[in-house]
């Protein structure tokens, strides 16, 4: 008996092979750049073909293993104001600009830097 396409997709998804057929969006549409630092404060920048950059911390960063307790955004990020269809007026950041400071449950404090020369359009903080 032939399965309908939707039923076939549902069967594949429940069998755990869904990710093999359809890789994650990040793998399909973004090019990854990693910034490996000597102090293990590794970060990444995902670059989309349309020019959008997504900055984040790598899985090897101490924040991931120590569990973040408090995230404090920098004053420049808080004061970022954009307007219009083309997102005019965003703040420009350089490689060493600090986006936020993360304090872990153990009391250690880490600064998350921008890592690229770019304009901040909209900060999204994921937990």
In the chain, where the domains are located? 29-119
Entry pTM: 0.70
73-85 tens-digit pLDDT: 888 888 888 888 7
Confidence grade of residue 1 (pLDDT, cut at 50, 70, 90)? very low
What is the per-residue pLDDT across 22-64, written as a single tens digit (0 to 9) for each? 777 777 888 888 887 777 788 888 899 888 888 888 888 888 8
Helices (H), the chain: 5-14, 18-21, 25-29, 62-66, 75-78
User: What is the per-residue pLDDT for 126?
Assistant: 54
Q: What is the mean pLDDT of residues 99-116?
A: 91
What are the CA-CA distances from residue 97 to residues 66, 69, 91, 123 (Å)?
24, 22, 11, 14
């Amino acid at each position: 008996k032939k399965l309908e396409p939707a039923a076939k997709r549902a069967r594949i998804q429940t069998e755990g092979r869904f990710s093999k057929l359809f890789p994650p969006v990040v793998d399909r549409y973004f090019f990854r750049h990693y910034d490996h630092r000597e102090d293990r404060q590794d970060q990444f920048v995902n670059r989309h073909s349309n020019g959008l950059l997504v900055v984040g911390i790598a899985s090897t960063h101490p924040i991931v293993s120590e569990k973040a307790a408090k995230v404090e955004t920098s004053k420049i990020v808080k004061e970022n104001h954009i307007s219009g269809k083309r997102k005019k007026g965003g703040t420009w950041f350089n490689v060493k600009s600090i986006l936020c400071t993360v304090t872990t449950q153990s009391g250690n404090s880490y600064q998350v830097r921008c890592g690229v020369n770019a304009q901040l359009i909209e900060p999204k903080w994921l937990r």
